[in-house]
Amino acid sequence: MKISVLLAGLVVTAAAIGPALAQDPAGLVGSWKLKSFRIELVDTKETKDALGPRPYGRMILTKGGHITNFRVAEGRTPPKTDSDRAALLQSMAAWTGRYRATDKEVLIDIDASWTEFLTNTSTTRTYLLSGNTLTFTNTISSSLFFPGRAAVGVETFEREE
């Protein structure tokens, strides 16, 4: 009798969590705080922090397949001039769209971006999930941070929820 009740409980539990696991088999759904954003040139291996040593940002992936990635440099201040407003655009990166994940890659269809350069494009990020740390790597044929040069971007995030 006790075994039957235990088995029934396990079946109910599996039925309840099964759909949730099926909707996020890669474990990527959630809110991720940006820890670093580095760019490395393909030809010279020169690297730099794309938005400085302490960028701020967040990436949110939903179980419905939506993704938003917003990042800014540390120390930004409200603009006073048109030149200040233009500088703010150079100290951020943001886009939103839809994604689908495989066991090693996230395929992203971007539907809006901060510069319009990426709007209506598709990109693929490889990823590594280790505990609460998510690393996205992307090869870029023409980097916005090293204009006109091929680079590899590496974003590291920490799970918030």
The model scores a pTM over 0.75: yes
For 71, other C-beta atoms within 10 Å of its C-beta total: 20
- Whether 125 contacts 100, CB under 8 Å: no
Q: Which residues contact 144 (CB under 8 A, 6 or more apart)?
A: 93, 115, 117
CA 152 vs CA 39, 133, 143, 155: distances in Å: 6, 19, 8, 10
pLDDT at 114: 93
- Whether 69 contacts 59, CB under 8 Å: yes
What whole-number distance in Å separates Cα of residue 69 and Cα of residue 92?
Answer: 11
Nearest to 102 by CA among 155, 18, 19, 24: 24
Mind listing the pLDDT tens digit of every residue in the chain (161 residues)? 544 443 344 333 333 333 333 357 789 999 999 999 999 999 999 999 999 999 999 999 999 999 999 999 999 999 999 999 999 999 999 999 999 999 999 999 999 999 898 999 999 999 999 999 999 999 888 887 788 889 999 999 999 97
pLDDT at 154: 96
CA 80 vs CA 74, 75, 85: distances in Å: 18, 15, 8
Q: Which CATH number fits domain 22-159: 3.40.50.1370, 3.70.10.10, 2.40.128.490, 1.20.1420.30?
A: 2.40.128.490
Domain coordinates of the chain in residue numbers? 22-159
Which residues pair with residue 157 across a beta bridge? 34, 134
